[in-house]
Amino acid sequence: MILKIRQVGEQVLRQMARPLSTEEILARPTQELVESMRETMHDAPGVGLAAPQVGYPLQLVVIEDQHEFIQKLPADQVIERERRPVPFHVLINPKLSLVGSDIATFFEGCLSVAGFSAIVPRAKRVRVECLNERAEPVIIDAQGWYARILQHEIDHLHGALYIDRMNTRSFCTHDNYARYWKDRPVAEVTSAEKLG
């Protein structure tokens, strides 16, 4: 079932999501929610979706960065963003740790801030400890674009959106991103002259 994606300004996007117990994770309503979130993410389309984005203040995220999405990008962007396919998986009650001090700065969008993008600095590497949809413990070590997706989605569980972390002068519509910035190297985009 396709769920309604909540938009910025709705309270559920700005509150702390609560953890799920093992019993709740294994219960039919949560399993059905996971499947509906997967369908909704594919329909949007997106690479990640957190439960608060569909109205549930729960520590639950689905992620999948499909090969088809990456194929559409120029090769230099794929390399620059360290983007690789990520199979579908579920994160429940995730704990995120930043690994190292390297930062990557790229444009980011969000299904709950429809129609806009902005430059957001994120850690290049992260570690996530969580449970999967079978309530089994999982440890994820990620870098590049996958690390960005994890940070973005886990932010949702803490009531944060990318607009809280963005370079405010870079905030633009998707149309203007495509018109002016999409095919430019990040260093050029982030230069003071270009954003001023």
Taking the C-alpha atoms of residue 50 and residue 114, their distance in angstroms, rounded to an integer, is: 15
Please provide the size of the chain in residues: 196
Contact between 91 and 82 (Cβ < 8 Å): no
Strands 137-143 and 125-131: antiparallel
| SS3 readout for the chain | CCCCCCCCCCHHHHCCCECCCHHHHHCHHHHHHHHHHHHHHHHCCCCEEEHHHHCCCECEEEEEECHHHHHCCCHHHHHHHCCCCEEEEEEEEEEEEECCCCEEEEEEECCCCCCEEEEEEEECEEEEEEECCCCCEEEEEEEHHHHHHHHHHHHHCCCCCHHHCCCHHHCEEHHHHHHHHCCCCHHHHHCHHHHC
Q: Which of 64, 108, 133, 153 is catalytic?
A: 153
82 is catalytic: no
**Residues that are catalytic:** 153
